[in-house]
Amino acid sequence: MDINDIVATSHFFVSRYMKPGAVVVDATAGNGYDTLFLARLLGEEGRVHAFDLQKHALDNTRALLAKNGLEHRVSLYLDSHRNIPQRVAAPVQVVMFNLGYLPGGEKDVATCPQETLAALEGSREVLAKGGVISVATYSGHPGGKSEEEAVAAWCSKLNPGKYTVMCLRVLNKENNPPQLWLIKG
């Protein structure tokens, strides 16, 4: 695990909670790297549900999955991650969020606090007992700081009898390094 890479760190933790055959969600498909990671871990019986608002992102994800022969394990949704509970039945073992904008895409199209908080609530509704929600936040872009603060506030209010929340952050780096939030149900 490279602790300088927030995505690698999220993969390290999430992989500890993955079970072959599980149902999992990539709430922000982006270029498909988290979707591919999840599809590889699930085995033939598992299912990844990947969401994104941008067709370009889903096209990138679809191409990456096809290149790796894993498209049959994934359902792609051109839809907001706030609609996870309407699209995916419980129990869900893992939900991954990688917030912000699509790398290589338009920077003015990004996740926002209202949609993300609704998606986190929806994820909590379908999360299996012992399941994990992983949220990578990036405060260095316009709107990123307010979204990170909203995630922090939401996590802080979760019932400690039902959820354990951990935040990993780099303290000695400049330029708003990303943070990783892990919520275990």
Give the residue from 72, 50, 53, 69 showing the smallest Cα distance to 61: 50
- Whole-number Å distance between alpha carbons of 31 and 87: 21
pLDDT grade, residue 55 (50/70/90)? very high
Confidence of residue 6 (pLDDT cuts 50, 70, 90): confident
Q: Express each pLDDT in 134-145 by its tens digit.
A: 999 988 777 778
Residue 183's Cβ-count burial label (10 Å; 0-12, 13-18, 19+) is buried
- Angle (CA) 117-143-80 rounded to 5° is 40
DSSP state of 162: T
Q: What is the secondary structure of 47-106 as a DSSP string?
A: EEEEEES-HHHHHHHHHHHHHTT-GGGEEEEES-GGGHHHHSPSPEEEEEEE-SB-TTS-
Going across the sheet that includes 179-184, the strands are: 74-78, 47-52, 23-26, 92-98, 127-137, 179-184, 164-169
Domains of the chain (ranges, CATH numbers) = 6-14+21-103+125-169 (3.40.50.150)
pTM score of the predicted model: 0.93
- 77-109 pLDDT per residue, tens: 999 999 999 999 999 999 999 988 667 766 666
What DSSP state is assigned to residue 157? Answer: T
pLDDT > 90: percent of the chain:
74
